[in-house]
Amino acid sequence: MSNTQSSANTTLTLWVEEYGDEMYSWAFYKTSNKEIAEDLVQDTFTSAFKAFERFKKDSNPKTWLFTILNNKIIDYYRSKASQKHITETELNAQSNVDGMFNDLETWSSLPQMEWQDEEHLLDNQEFLKVFKACIDNLPEKWRAVTIAKFFDYKKGKAISKELGITSSNLWQIVHRSKLHLKKCLDTNWTPEQ
Amino acid sequence: MRPLLQPLMLSCKKAAELTDKSSVVKLSRLERLKLRMHNKACAVCNAYTKHSLLMDRAFEEIVNPSKQQKLELSGAVKKRIVDALN
């Protein structure tokens, strides 16, 4: 290992300690999945190591690392959005969602009209926990695309462009995710009365 | 609701579609009118619209880590990351 490499190594090892947790939290809330978040943080440090010479010594390491991390997150969304292969999880989720309507295109079983504690749901940590678990249950492609839609509150067109899919493809995936989430929340948040 | 009785009538399936579409792209005036008419007559779809908006807000809440509990990388993962640098 050369001198430059070993200094890069020492610095980055310190940065893993210093910024690793914060980067991981950020990546987790942008992907809703622990393993994916860990991999994205690892990829970020690997890229930072390779590009270390380009890091300006007077700039802020945290800003630099988060720029790389955000690019990794967008790359991840994009790769999932353009995935042509339909996984088995996706097939199952699709038939689950299709089954919510009958041939007359009305609801096949009545969804819940009211969720428990509806007025304070966004302050309710228990609810957010259930909601996150439901999101984690979505097929990976649906999850990535739907979270991307909420990532930095961009307009639908800008996001679909970033993801490399059409805007109708984008809203259709978001729609399927939300039907799936609605059913998950109906079952897991508001227990049968 | 029975669908297709009138050109302006939506099925529940289409109404739910338009509801979720509206949070991603702007609906046309005709689409908005059809959805409003359907939801006025259909309590179930009206409730779906309410829940769809709530889910939007919940999403915004959870992708914003500043409000959320901080997480920590495990020692094993940190080690894996550092080892990969060599």
**CATH number for A74:** 1.10.1740.10
Q: What is the CATH number of the domain that holds A123?
A: 1.10.10
Helix axes A61-81, A156-163, angle to 10 degrees: 80
pLDDT tens sequence across A102-147: 999 999 999 999 999 999 999 898 999 999 999 999 999 999 999 9
Q: Where in the sequence is the domain holding B61, given as residue range(s)? A: 12-84
Q: Which of A146, A140, A153, A136 is closest to A188 using CA atoms?
A: A136
Q: Where in the sequence is the domain holding A118, given as residue range(s)? A: 88-188
Q: Which of B71, B16, B61, B17 is closest to A27 using CA atoms?
A: B71
Per the model's pLDDT, the better-predicted residue between A13 and B68 turns out to be: A13
* pLDDT at B67 (0 to 100): 64
Across the interface, which of B12, B25, B62 has its CB nearest the CB of A132? B62
Q: Is the pLDDT confidence value at B33 over 60? A: yes
Which ipTM score applies to this complex?
0.87
Mean pLDDT for all residues in chain A: 91
The fraction of chain A above a pLDDT of 90, given in percent, is 75
Q: How far apart are CA A4 and CA A9, in angstroms?
A: 8
Bridge partner list, A107: A101
Pair of tokens at residue A6: 């070993």
Q: Return the DSSP state at A107.
A: B
Q: Is the pLDDT confidence value at B6 over 70? A: no
* pLDDT at B53 (0 to 100): 96
Does residue A38 contact residue B73 with C-beta atoms inside 8 Å? Answer: yes
A80 — pLDDT class (breaks 50, 70, 90): very high
CA distances, A130 to each of A184, A193, B13 (Å): 9, 18, 26
The answer to whether residue B32 sits within a structural domain is yes
The answer to whether residue B2 sits within a structural domain is no
Pair of tokens at residue A92: 């199952």
Q: Residue B51: which residues within 8 A CB-CB, separation 6 or more?
A: A111, A115, A182, A185
A75 — pLDDT class (breaks 50, 70, 90): very high
The answer to whether residue B6 sits within a structural domain is no
The answer to whether residue B4 sits within a structural domain is no
CA distance A7 to chain B (A): 12
CA angle A51, A54, A59 (to 5 degrees): 115
Return the SS3 of A101. strand
CA distances, A25 to each of A41, A72, B76 (Å): 10, 15, 16
Pair of tokens at residue A110: 């009545």
Give chain B positions within 8 Å (CB) of A147. Answer: 59, 63
Per the model's pLDDT, the better-predicted residue between A160 and A154 turns out to be: A160
Provide the number of structural domains found in chain A.
2
Give chain A positions within 8 Å (CB) of B14. Answer: 105
Give chain A positions within 8 Å (CB) of B73. Answer: 20-21, 24, 38, 41
Give chain B positions within 8 Å (CB) of A38. Answer: 73, 77
pLDDT tens sequence across A44-54: 999 999 999 88
Q: Which of B23, B27, B85, B28 is closest to B55 using CA atoms?
A: B23
Provide the number of structural domains found in chain B.
1
Q: How far apart are CA A101 and CA A109, in angstroms?
A: 8
Q: Is the pLDDT confidence value at A184 over 70? A: yes
**Residue to substitute from A25, A46, A168, A177, interface B, most B β-carbons within 10 A:** A25
* pLDDT at A151 (0 to 100): 78
The answer to whether residue A193 sits within a structural domain is no
Pair of tokens at residue A91: 């097939």
- Closest chain B CA to residue A48: B85
Do A15 and A72 reside in the same domain of the chain?
yes
Q: Is the pLDDT confidence value at B5 over 60? A: no
Bridge partner list, A101: A107
Q: How far apart are CA B21 and CA B77, in angstroms?
A: 39
